[in-house]
Amino acid sequence: MIGFNCDYLEGAHARVLELMQQTNLEQTVGYGEDEYCEQAREMIRAACAAPDAAVHFLVGGTQTNMTVIAAALRPHQGVLAAESGHIATHETGAVEATGHKVLTLPAQEGKIHAAQIREAVAAHRRDASFEHIVQPAMVYLSQPTELGTLYSHAELSEISAACRELGLLLFVDGARLAYALAAKTNDVSLADLAALTDVFYLGGTKCGALFGEAVVIGNPLLQQDFRYLIKQRGGMLAKGRLLGLQFVALLRGGLYTELGRHGDLLAAQIDAACREKGISMLAPTVTNQLFPIFTQPQLDRLAVDFRFSDWQTVDATHKAVRFVTSWATTQEAVTALCRAIRALEA
Amino acid sequence: MIGFNCDYLEGAHARVLELMQQTNLEQTVGYGEDEYCEQAREMIRAACAAPDAAVHFLVGGTQTNMTVIAAALRPHQGVLAAESGHIATHETGAVEATGHKVLTLPAQEGKIHAAQIREAVAAHRRDASFEHIVQPAMVYLSQPTELGTLYSHAELSEISAACRELGLLLFVDGARLAYALAAKTNDVSLADLAALTDVFYLGGTKCGALFGEAVVIGNPLLQQDFRYLIKQRGGMLAKGRLLGLQFVALLRGGLYTELGRHGDLLAAQIDAACREKGISMLAPTVTNQLFPIFTQPQLDRLAVDFRFSDWQTVDATHKAVRFVTSWATTQEAVTALCRAIRALEA
Amino acid sequence: MIGFNCDYLEGAHARVLELMQQTNLEQTVGYGEDEYCEQAREMIRAACAAPDAAVHFLVGGTQTNMTVIAAALRPHQGVLAAESGHIATHETGAVEATGHKVLTLPAQEGKIHAAQIREAVAAHRRDASFEHIVQPAMVYLSQPTELGTLYSHAELSEISAACRELGLLLFVDGARLAYALAAKTNDVSLADLAALTDVFYLGGTKCGALFGEAVVIGNPLLQQDFRYLIKQRGGMLAKGRLLGLQFVALLRGGLYTELGRHGDLLAAQIDAACREKGISMLAPTVTNQLFPIFTQPQLDRLAVDFRFSDWQTVDATHKAVRFVTSWATTQEAVTALCRAIRALEA
Amino acid sequence: MIGFNCDYLEGAHARVLELMQQTNLEQTVGYGEDEYCEQAREMIRAACAAPDAAVHFLVGGTQTNMTVIAAALRPHQGVLAAESGHIATHETGAVEATGHKVLTLPAQEGKIHAAQIREAVAAHRRDASFEHIVQPAMVYLSQPTELGTLYSHAELSEISAACRELGLLLFVDGARLAYALAAKTNDVSLADLAALTDVFYLGGTKCGALFGEAVVIGNPLLQQDFRYLIKQRGGMLAKGRLLGLQFVALLRGGLYTELGRHGDLLAAQIDAACREKGISMLAPTVTNQLFPIFTQPQLDRLAVDFRFSDWQTVDATHKAVRFVTSWATTQEAVTALCRAIRALEA
């Protein structure tokens, strides 16, 4: 069985493990105040052209999302997100458990748009009962989205402008950011993210690390006391250097983007195989996630040799599923999958 | 200006005030452990044919909703509600502030149905990532609904059966319950509510009291320690007897249902006036709330003399608004409104 | 049996009830936006010499405390309070239920002092693990305290100065404020409270109203969006005018202070009777609460005719109990109690 | 500089890293449902003689504490802990952030006793205002304690019996459990912990792993839905196998206890050196933490070559500090420290 069900099936890239091995018996202070974390912070600030950004390392995505959102909002405020956004669907209500409502907006191919945000805020403000309704105060996006699609520089700029005009914070979840940065169609750089958002993160877990997310906070108000919040929400790793070390390894020599490119190119091969067979996709394939639409007999056939995820029922005879490639996916695995797709009966 | 904008424009029914006046200088213990509360509890248990039910008094609806829901759920559990449900829309995220997600379902005329609940739970249970998704554990309904409609005995029984089969709790918000109990088309009694739900409440605030909601808890597990929860959420009135006294006054001699009937009958007059003019309604009028659909010129005309609430835009030229009658609405006010409706130009 | 167990045994002062009665069938808008609330707000601003203060009305003390504290603090921040403070002892963890720790300080006669606050903050800041410890960000005091004592103008000024220097908010719980304002030894006016605190409240429940607390927010940052917070925590009364009306009645013609004086004077009579008998007190009697220390046989004797509250065991043969007078206590009741005290055997 | 400031200065034991390296490119399912986690769970159940226990892996201690406590308690319930307990002092109010109060008890050498628990519960239950006070519902202990001391089998049995009698849950934090299990004076086995508690955990982070805590839940009620809670609080590691693998490595061939013994033996050497010099200790040294009391000049001398932690001021001229050994501490480091201690001037 070859797994394409997600991008956290394997451990870490060899260079990540090597650096952890090499430094294993060094003594450093804990909780992210060591020299490796500092080095990673400097590398990230440089890569983001954001010398004044605060950079913090947390262990996983749900933890990061809830910590950032709870740090930013007052109790009566909520966060706008696509209805398909990870915080709205797959975090067991972690945001609500910190007291805040996720205010969902309909998404197109996983994305929301500036006009929707403007309208949501305007509707709130013109409602006579506005004080009886959760106040929108932050926008949460994922880049790439949960459907593997990308916000363009123009789209992100419009959203950023709307947020600044309206007094909302903008937070971008980059759990799979390597695959976005490396995508052919991408025109949003790390520096753009730093400039256009109040806070975003570079995902490590799905992009070559054992675990870890690097939060980049540009907004000075949100920088304040952020380490208390990490500790309170259980995200402050005792041996914090493990996070710093992994990001040092990933950022050295452009490894992070290189790993993203590897996943994207393999996904493009699978996409091509699907297209050849006339198999349509739930969303265009631009990063490392693909959402082909198959018949049940086709799925049964593929399930003999491959693991993938159920996604959604499209019609009486068709289902969309999700295939994911990653930094660790081999060409052999993809070749086998493409061969199997090409061999499917219509 | 005559107000039809809500059912809490006036104070309390005269008999409520009289009882408070008469007993004003008596000394009683606080926090709802006095003899008047005990008397009201006994009257409610009798009216509900529920001798083992726990009855508690809280001050207002949002407070009651959040206290009941927070008392009932474990942290990873959420409450299913109509998308138009009060907890989902107009309580500033009070439920989320206690850590729980409101899981909304599409509503028809303000109601949800047993099949939707079954499907929501089934979908949760068959999802491979079910532990990453908030677990549905309670159903919240309003009787009457936020659109003034009623669950029939058959509908409520089906929902109750589904909840019991699936292990969900059933909670009915009766903020306007007097208007439901008195409705011509109603076939759900207090005893039915007590038998079919785990917890429900009789609203006082909108039904003749100055304030107050009487929570009836049939489920013994939910009865446990409930007074701690009331205190913790700020709902335990020091002079608790004020709540007991008001419910004693409302329940004596059937005043509660009588006040509901008054509101319903006046609403029916307004409904009749609308029908005569061919004005359509967003939902059928069966209790004390009406949702007629007018043109803007018609609304401008009515707004000269009457207060009502914006509800929703129906199309380019029509808007639904809300008129509400109550125990305190006068026949004169309704006659004036009906005359004004009949005088509208098409 | 005559009750001295608390100051919420009776209903409301006659003038409060009268005003509610007179206005009962008037129509007003809900949620505190009516003319009576506005009138009460103006009267309070004037009495506090604080024309820019925001004034809000809530139903009860626990509700007010948790709403103010949750509105003011970020998630990692806590509130410093006397270990005997109401929020630390008798609110079922309402503050913790909003996510915040109450950081207790040893109290002397119910009071904490500026030096303790300075030391607590200094200790926090010099701790190498400060980010692992809840950050003190607010000071909570009660005036009068839970032991009936008073902060002097000098003490309160020092605490206020410490808070401002250290960046902490100062919040004064005035649940029994009428008894403080009227006390012979008091030198802290409403205007002082408004000037020295960020937020405080005038209690109604224990001072002549049926219920209600009037929150005065001087700090503009804390004023922002406060009504959302009231609604979210369940404290926004639908018929909000009931709160406004009561404060209008209490503030008219100085009734509020007059009621406080009544309670204080009667307490002083009981105090005098105790002194005559050589009965010592847990704290000096300056407002309407007394804490005499009796032997068990003495308590048994008094309990035949009077209700009072257990307070604390002093030694093997002595207990302190609490007697409370109020606006509603009669001279006859006090005379009877004093006679009984004088008749006690040593 | 040689660090004795904590037990998380280095990475992981070689065998832990080796196993992670060997399995690095294997594909497994995520979120702790892989074969390595299952293997570790079986090893732990066997070591605990608890075939029906649920075993879950989380990343760190604060996360584990807040997840267990929030999973176990209803909103009005609190957790009893030593005033020196980690949850009471050094977790930035993580427990309060989930809505629960930590109810502290005075500790002797870091420990609380059954009699204190019985008295706390009795005091709660006999208080007339018990519903206004947080209800004690769980006891939290650390083994070893934050002062390095141990609960004996007799002490723990008494506490367990008290909890069961009173209906409280018993939770033991074993962040440093390896050092307890290996201690000369220890008579509490893993099987004892499993039998006497409702839930406890074996710490990995401080005992040879990179990170990770293994929660053993004996109480079936607390087992229910626990994985939802882990996910909601941000503790569910995507590459969950990393936790399983580390515990497999630690439990194989008794490595876990062996690492504990190493730390304990080195601590005993430092303790002996202190005793020789007549240096007294804040608490007896029985595990890997020592709390010697030095003069400032002595501390200044030691600080030239060694890192340690401030603990508490003992008197005008003496301070207690903390030295910690670990699985990774070398004999050379300890020899150097002992030499330095012996060379101190009195």
pLDDT in tens, C252-310: 999 999 999 999 999 999 999 999 999 999 999 999 999 999 999 999 999 999 999 99
Q: Which helix (H) or strand (E) holds A318?
A: strand A318-324
What proportion of chain C, given as a percentage, has pLDDT over 90?
A: 99
Indicate if the pLDDT at residue B186 is higher than 90. yes
Confidence band, pLDDT 50/70/90 cuts, at residue D346: confident
Tokens of residue B48, six digits: 């509900």
Contact status, residue A155 vs residue A113, Cβ threshold 8 Å: yes
pLDDT at residue number A23? 98
Contact status, residue A20 vs residue D11, Cβ threshold 8 Å: yes
Among B219, B253, B287, the domain boundary falls at B253
Task: Strands of D257-324 (E only): list them.
Answer: 289-290, 293-295, 306-307, 309-315, 318-324
Cα distance between residue B174 and residue A18, in whole Å: 64
Confidence band, pLDDT 50/70/90 cuts, at residue C224: very high
- Co-location of A91 and A176 in the same domain: yes
Contact status, residue B20 vs residue B245, Cβ threshold 8 Å: yes
Q: Give residue B256's region: left, alpha or beta (phi > 0; psi -120 to 50).
A: alpha
Contact status, residue A11 vs residue D25, Cβ threshold 8 Å: yes
**b/e burial code for range C103-129 (CB count within 10 A of at least 16 → b):** bbbebebbbbbbebbbebbeebeeeee
Q: Which of D278, D253, D282, D270 lies closest to D335 in space, CA to CA?
A: D270
Cβ neighbours for B330, distance < 8 A, ≥ 6 positions apart: none
Number of independent structural domains in chain A: 2
Shortest Cα distance, chain A CAs vs residue C10, angstroms: 33
Among A254, A274, A295, the domain boundary falls at A254
Confidence band, pLDDT 50/70/90 cuts, at residue D195: very high
Q: C51-110: per-residue pLDDT in tens?
A: 999 999 999 999 999 999 999 999 999 999 999 999 999 999 999 999 999 999 999 999
Tokens of residue A178, six digits: 């390597």
pLDDT at residue number D114? 98
pLDDT at residue number B184? 97
Cα distance between residue C157 and residue C141, in whole Å: 13
Residue among D91, D210, D234 whose CB faces A242 most closely: D210
Interface of D with C in 255-284 (CB under 8 A): none
Residue among C20, C94, C234 whose CB faces B11 most closely: C20
**Beta-carbon separation of D132 and B231 below 8 A:** yes
Shortest Cα distance, chain C CAs vs residue D346, angstroms: 28
Q: Which of A132, A82, A154 lies closest to A112 in space, CA to CA?
A: A82
Among A211, A229, A254, the domain boundary falls at A254
Contact status, residue A43 vs residue A248, Cβ threshold 8 Å: yes
What proportion of chain B, given as a percentage, has pLDDT over 70?
A: 100
**N residues, chain D:** 346
Cα distance between residue A216 and residue A47, in whole Å: 11
pLDDT at residue number A346? 78
CA of residue D195 relative to chain centroid, distance: 18
Interface of D with C in 109-168 (CB under 8 A): 128-129, 131-134
Range of the domain at C263: 2-6+257-342
- Co-location of B217 and B292 in the same domain: no
How many other CB atoms sit within 10 Å of the CB of residue B50? 19
Give the end-to-end CA distance of chain C in Å, rounded to a whole number. Answer: 23
Cβ neighbours for C221, distance < 8 A, ≥ 6 positions apart: none
Cα distance between residue B87 and residue B102, in whole Å: 8
What proportion of chain A, given as a percentage, has pLDDT over 70?
A: 100
**Beta-carbon separation of A59 and D61 below 8 A:** no
Which DSSP string corresponds to B113-155? -HHHHHHHHHHHHH-TTGGGSPEEEEEEEESS-TTS----HHH
What proportion of chain B, given as a percentage, has pLDDT over 90?
A: 99
Cis geometry, peptide bond prior to residue B144 (ω within 30 degrees of 0): yes
- Co-location of D281 and D229 in the same domain: no
Cα distance between residue D116 and residue D82, in whole Å: 10
Cβ neighbours for B300, distance < 8 A, ≥ 6 positions apart: none
- Co-location of A172 and A242 in the same domain: yes
Shortest Cα distance, chain B CAs vs residue C91, angstroms: 6
pLDDT at residue number A133? 98
Residue among B70, B135, B231 whose CB faces D225 most closely: B135
Confidence band, pLDDT 50/70/90 cuts, at residue B346: confident
Question: Which of chain B's residues have a Cβ under 8 Å away from the Cβ of A101?
Answer: 93, 96, 102
Confidence band, pLDDT 50/70/90 cuts, at residue C202: very high
**Beta-carbon separation of B97 and A78 below 8 A:** no
SS3 for D277?
coil
Say whether residue A45 is in contact with chain C using an 8 A CB cutoff.
Answer: no
**Beta-carbon separation of D17 and A21 below 8 A:** yes
Mutation target for C interface from B239, B322, B337: give the one with most C CBs within 10 A. B239
Shortest Cα distance, chain D CAs vs residue B192, angstroms: 29
Confidence band, pLDDT 50/70/90 cuts, at residue B7: very high
Mutation target for B interface from D131, D134, D135, D222: give the one with most B CBs within 10 A. D131
Contact status, residue D337 vs residue D3, Cβ threshold 8 Å: no
- Co-location of D156 and D58 in the same domain: yes
- Co-location of D97 and D243 in the same domain: yes
Cα distance between residue A90 and residue A142, in whole Å: 13
Say whether residue D100 is in contact with chain C using an 8 A CB cutoff.
Answer: yes
The three-point CA angle B231-B237-B238 to 5° equals 100
- Co-location of C191 and C201 in the same domain: yes
Shortest Cα distance, chain A CAs vs residue B320, angstroms: 15
Residue among D75, D96, D133 whose CB faces C101 most closely: D96
Contact status, residue C12 vs residue C259, Cβ threshold 8 Å: no
Question: Mean pLDDT over all residues of chain D?
Answer: 97
- Co-location of B45 and B175 in the same domain: yes
Q: The domain that contains D60 carries what CATH number? A: 3.40.640.10
Question: Which of chain C's residues have a Cβ under 8 Å away from the Cβ of D93?
Answer: 76, 78, 99-101, 134
Interface C:D, Cβ pairs < 8 A:
56
Contact status, residue A282 vs residue A293, Cβ threshold 8 Å: yes
- Co-location of C232 and C264 in the same domain: no
Mutation target for B interface from A66, A101, A312: give the one with most B CBs within 10 A. A101
Q: The domain that contains C310 carries what CATH number? A: 3.90.1150.10
Say whether residue C74 is in contact with chain D using an 8 A CB cutoff.
Answer: no
Shortest Cα distance, chain B CAs vs residue C292, angstroms: 22
Say whether residue D76 is in contact with chain C using an 8 A CB cutoff.
Answer: yes
Average pLDDT over residues D119-141: 97
Residue pLDDT tens, chain A, 346 long:
999 999 999 999 999 999 999 999 999 999 999 999 999 999 999 999 999 999 999 999 999 999 999 999 999 999 999 999 999 999 999 999 999 999 999 999 999 999 999 999 999 999 999 999 999 999 999 999 999 999 999 999 999 999 999 999 999 999 999 999 999 999 999 999 999 999 999 999 999 999 999 999 999 999 999 999 999 999 999 999 999 999 999 999 999 999 999 999 999 999 999 999 999 999 999 999 999 999 999 999 999 999 999 999 999 999 999 999 999 999 999 999 999 999 998 7
Mutation target for A interface from B8, B96, B310: give the one with most A CBs within 10 A. B96
Eight-state DSSP code of residue D134: P
- Co-location of D323 and D238 in the same domain: no
Strands D293-295 and D289-290: unpaired
Cβ neighbours for B108, distance < 8 A, ≥ 6 positions apart: none
Question: Which of chain D's residues have a Cβ under 8 Å away from the Cβ of A2?
Answer: 27
Q: What is the 3-state secondary structure (H, E, C) of chain C?
A: CEECCCCCCCCCCHHHHHHHHHCCCCCCCCCCCCHHHHHHHHHHHHHCCCCCCEEEEECCHHHHHHHHHHHHCCCCEEEEEECCCHHHHCCCCHHHHCCCCEEEECCECCECCHHHHHHHHHHHHHCCCHHHCCEEEEEEEECCCCCCCCCCHHHHHHHHHHHHHHCCEEEEECCCHHHHHCCCCCCCCHHHHHHHCCEEEEECCCCCCCCCEEEEECCHHHHCCHHHHHHHCCCCCCCCHHHHHHHHHHHHHHHHHHHHHHHHHHHHHHHHHHHHCCCCECCCCCCCEECEEEEHHHHHHHCCCEECEEEEEEECCEEEEEEECCCCCCHHHHHHHHHHHHCCCC
**What is the rounded radius of gyration, in angstroms, for the C-alpha atoms of chain A?**
20
Contact status, residue D153 vs residue D188, Cβ threshold 8 Å: yes
Tokens of residue A51, six digits: 């010398």
Cα distance between residue D172 and residue B105, in whole Å: 42
- Co-location of A229 and A191 in the same domain: yes
Q: A213-258: per-residue pLDDT in tens?
A: 999 999 999 999 999 999 999 999 999 999 999 999 999 999 999 9
Confidence band, pLDDT 50/70/90 cuts, at residue C346: confident
Contact status, residue C328 vs residue C320, Cβ threshold 8 Å: no
- Co-location of B301 and B331 in the same domain: yes
Locate tokens 């012996």: which residue? D342
**Beta-carbon separation of B71 and D70 below 8 A:** no
Cα distance between residue D270 and residue D284, in whole Å: 12
Strands C318-324 and C289-290: antiparallel
Tokens of residue A208, six digits: 């070559």
Count of alpha carbons within 13 angstroms of residue C332, beta-carbon side: 2
Sign of CA dihedral D292, D297, D303, D304: negative
Cα distance between residue A328 and residue D23, in whole Å: 13
Task: Strands of B7-125 (E only): list them.
Answer: 54-58, 77-82, 102-105
ipTM of the complex: 0.97
Cα distance between residue A293 and residue A311, in whole Å: 10
CA of residue A36 relative to chain centroid, distance: 24
Interface B:D, Cβ pairs < 8 A:
45
Contact status, residue B140 vs residue B104, Cβ threshold 8 Å: no
